[in-house]
């Protein structure tokens, strides 16, 4: 009996001690919570991307890698649903400071008054391009054949849906649009239930790289008529990216769809506005690091000083560029290489010479770069 009482008394004392300790710990945590919250939220900016399979998710992670310092700066990527929803979120969703948005979605939002006050949103910088892919079944030989046919444009509100609607309108082609997920649409295309699927994606896109040769599915060329080139930059899809879909001697004309880093209107939120300014300073200062091996090749298309006509640059970004004028003078290597390639093609065609292979053009461009560096010295 005495032994039982001793055990019971010891258990009660131990329980009381645990309760007291728990109370003290809870009290300490309660006292520390505001301080902890302040530390965790210090310098945070939330950046909304495209859907989970979009290249913007990887780009946002790479931005975070040069911004985050573990103490005063941090980027929190947020997966979005599409460019139009990103604009809505940028204006209304609590905490969203930045968003990656297609440039043609910006034009649509402004021209159609899609979002009241959308003009108050500003841009930090133009980003990379994505290519418009139009995959068709074997019997569809040109875009004109899609008149009256069903073309899948991804889910409603997607970037592809915005671009496809605008592009087909510019071409005067009245197609029927379906809004299945791309994986579902591909199966329907293989079964002949739809005529084509459109997909705005950064090339080389794994979706198309996975397609096998011999299926008859093929990419359609986009007619680069004046109405189209007045809105979109022309580009080409080559066999280097999709050997199973594109002939080595027959690149396919298409359009490039620009993306923009947009900022929320934070004028009434001083702390978030300071965080954004700190982000911009660090991003622009460290941008050259994103051009190094190991980062996405799309960064080489970006010129942070390029203007976006019709839109206002975020004050902190405009100020940084004014203070660093040498950046505005730096050439965009990818754009320069594209122009160089076109120059070679046009000169060869004018002189009646044989086309130069991509490998030979790349070697010649390297020689040009070496010469240019020598001139700079």
Q: 19-23, 77-81, 157-161, 226-230 — which is least confidently predicted?
A: 19-23
pLDDT for 356 equals: 80
Is pLDDT at 241 greater than 50 in this prediction? Answer: yes
Structure confidence at residue 358 (pLDDT): 74
pTM over 0.95: no
> Which pLDDT tens digit goes with each residue over 280-325?
999 999 999 999 999 999 999 899 999 999 999 999 999 999 999 8
Residue 367, pLDDT score: 67
User: Using an 8 Å Cβ cutoff, are 153 and 202 in contact?
Assistant: no
> Which pLDDT score is estimated for 355?
78
User: What is the 3-state secondary structure of the chain?
Assistant: CHHHHHHHHHHHHHHHHHHHHHHHHHHHHHHHHHHHHHHHCCCEEEEECCCCCCHHHHHHHHHHHHHCCCCCCEEEEECCCCHHHHHHHHHHCCCEEEEEEEHHHHHHHHHCCCCCCHHHCEEEEEEEEEEEEEEECCCCCCHHHHCCCEEECCCCCCHHHHHHHHHHHHHCCCCEEECCCHHHHHHHHHCCCCCEEEEEECCCCHHHHCCCCCCCCEECCCCCCHHHHCCCEEEEECCCCCCCCCCCCCCEEEEEEEEEEEECCCCCCHHHHHHHHHHHHHHHHCHHHHHCCCCCHHHHHCCCCCCCCCCCECHHHHHHHHHCHHHHCCCCHHHHHHHHHHHHHHHHHHHCCCCCCHHHHHHHHHHHHHHHHHHHC
Q: How confident is the model at residue 6 (pLDDT cuts 50, 70, 90)?
A: very low
* pLDDT tens sequence across 333-367: 566 666 677 677 766 766 667 778 777 777 777 66
Closest CA to 316 of 304, 326, 302: 304
């Amino acid at each position: 009996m005495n032994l039982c009482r001793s055990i019971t008394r010891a258990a009660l004392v131990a329980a009381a001690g645990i309760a007291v300790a728990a109370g003290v710990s809870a009290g300490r945590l309660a006292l520390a919570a505001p301080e902890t919250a302040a530390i965790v939220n210090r310098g945070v900016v939330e950046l909304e991307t495209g859907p989970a399979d979009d290249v913007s998710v990887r780009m946002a992670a790479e931005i975070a890698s040069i911004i985050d310092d573990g103490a005063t700066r941090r980027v929190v990527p947020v997966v979005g649903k599409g460019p139009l929803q990103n604009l809505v979120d940028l204006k209304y969703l609590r905490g969203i400071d930045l968003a990656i948005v297609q440039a043609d979605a910006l034009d649509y939002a402004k021209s159609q008054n899609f979002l009241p006050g959308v003009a108050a949103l500003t841009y930090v910088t133009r980003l990379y391009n994505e290519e418009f892919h139009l995959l068709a079944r074997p019997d569809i030989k040109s875009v004109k054949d899609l008149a009256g046919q069903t073309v899948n444009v991804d889910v409603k509100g997607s970037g592809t849906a915005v671009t496809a609607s605008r592009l087909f309108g510019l071409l005067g082609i009245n197609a029927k649009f379906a809004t299945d997920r791309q994986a579902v649409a591909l199966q329907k295309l293989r079964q002949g239930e739809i005529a084509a699927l459109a997909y705005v994606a950064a090339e080389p896109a794994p979706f198309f790289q996975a397609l096998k040769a011999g299926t008859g599915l093929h990419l359609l060329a986009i007619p680069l008529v004046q109405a189209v080139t007045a809105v979109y930059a022309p580009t080409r899809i080559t066999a280097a990216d999709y050997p199973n879909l594109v002939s080595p001697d027959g690149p396919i004309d298409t359009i490039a769809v620009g993306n923009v880093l947009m900022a929320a209107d934070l004028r009434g939120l001083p702390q978030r506005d300071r965080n954004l300014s700190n982000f911009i300073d660090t991003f622009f200062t460290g941008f050259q690091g994103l051009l190094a091996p190991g980062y996405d090749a799309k960064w080489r298309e970006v010129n942070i000083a390029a203007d976006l006509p019709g839109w206002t640059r975020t004050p902190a970004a405009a100020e940084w560029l004014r203070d660093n004028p040498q950046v505005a003078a730096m050439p965009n290597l990818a754009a320069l290489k594209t122009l160089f390639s076109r120059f070679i093609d046009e000169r060869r065609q004018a002189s009646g010479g044989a086309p130069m292979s991509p490998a030979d053009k790349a070697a010649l461009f390297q020689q040009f770069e070496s010469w240019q560096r020598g001139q700079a010295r």
